Amino acid sequence: MKEKLYLVIPCYNEEEVLPETSRRLKEKMHALIDAGTIAEDSRVVLVNDGSRDATWSLIEELHQSDPLFSGIKLSRNRGHQNALLAGLMTVRDEADMVISMDADLQDDIDAIDAMLEKYYEGCDIVYGVRSARKTDTFFKKTTAEGFYKILAKMGVDVVYNHADYRLMSRRALQGLADYKEVNLFLRGIVPLIGYKTAQVTYERHERFAGESKYPLKKMLAFAGDGITSMSIRPIRMILTLGCVGGALATAALIALFVLWLCGVTPGWLAAAAFFWQLANLQLIAIGVVGEYVGKNYMETKARPRFVVETYLHD
């Protein structure tokens, strides 16, 4: 029996790229259906994440003109991770497997074939992994690769050079539903599910149109969320740093006292600079601890991670 595939695609202000994205995805889905790889009632699900442009109007038009396209409208902008989760959780009981990808056509659509092959071989999760970063600037490449390395050193189990282009079976999606975190970092949560996994490599393309939704500021915030949501190692590093700083401060006080006993006037400016530096480290430590406390505060509220306003589906 042919199995049902849903493509889940978060969309935020994608009116420039959506017509081309929908055209290419339609061609790919029909090719897979004609080849007998997937069921005829497979769907492309476009998730509107509170877009301020004509994105939702385009999704409505696509749904009205072709039942292949379904649409999910969130009540307001919730961010990429929440929008992606909204799509996955909405369709998890309808599809046999789901592939998530971005709307900007940077993910290689042809990699879907290899993902499906791995799925039919028995894999519940198939990660799309970039084979190279030829389209990235030196700064983008360095910071992105550094991000994955830092996450690994912080004890976060992530797949290197993998974003959110992945296939998940219905069983894997049910497993994901058991993770109730409000602070979402799906790249770190999905590997925790377990089950049999595989990787498919692909070359990432230039964005077809529009602007990137992840400027440097958002990238840094995303990296910080990923680390603090999945690892407590930064707090342990603060403890170590505090012990080392305390030892250095004690040694400095002893040295200053000995100098005073010997009648030598200590360099108070140097001493003050040293203690100011320690004060700065304390402020940084308080900030990191505060980040964890804040996340725990948000988790205890257990607010909904998304609210679906409309689901267009035939």
pLDDT for the residue 151 = 67
Weakly modelled stretches of the chain, pLDDT under 50: none
pLDDT of residue 191: 87
How many whole angstroms separate alpha carbon 75 and alpha carbon 238?
Answer: 39
Q: Give the pLDDT score at 137.
A: 61
Q: Which tens digit of pLDDT belongs to each residue from 91-111?
A: 999 999 999 999 888 888 889
What's the pLDDT at 167?
A: 96
pLDDT of the residue at 62: 93
The pLDDT value given to residue 261: 72
Do the beta carbons of residue 21 and residue 28 sit within 8 Å?
no
Instruction: Output the CA torsion 211→216→221→222 (10° steps).
Output: 60
The predicted structure's pLDDT at residue 45: 95
Write the CB contacts of 57 (distance below 8 Å, at least 6 apart in sequence).
none
Q: CA torsion angle for 190, 195, 196, 197 (degrees, to 10)? A: 0
Tokens of 205: 């393309």
The tokens describing 92, both together, are: 């998890």
Q: What are phi and psi of 59, to 5 degrees?
A: -65, -40
Q: Kindly report the pTM of this predicted structure.
A: 0.71
